[in-house]
Amino acid sequence: MFYKVATELDFKKRFKEYESIPQHILAMIAEQKKVSPEIVKLYRDITGESLIKIRKECEIYLSYVEAYEDFLEGKTVYTEY
């Protein structure tokens, strides 16, 4: 794999991939800085998908939120080509 320094556009593209998740779920993840069982259950009640799939999707989203915060603080963040 090859990596490059992330740009604002890279983050916009990544966050766009998560537009299918209800906004209140995304806000809860970003605010709590964790994927709590309550968030997973609430999202599952909406979608009916498996808990494992939902937790994984939410954890990946959280990793983008954390990386974006680092980016905004001026830290160098890398992304795949």
CA–centroid distance for 60 within its chain:
5
Comparing C-alpha atoms, which of 51, 56, 50 is closest to residue 18? 56
Percent of all residues in the chain with a pLDDT value above 90, rounded to a whole number: 96
Write the pLDDT tens digit of every residue in 31-54: 999 999 999 999 999 999 999 999
* pLDDT score of 81: 84
Global pTM reads 0.90
For the chain, the domains span: 3-80
- Inter-CA distances, 47 with 43, 54, 73, 75, Å: 6, 9, 34, 36
Cα separation, 17 vs 20, in Å, equals 8
Comparing C-alpha atoms, which of 56, 71, 62 is closest to residue 10? 71
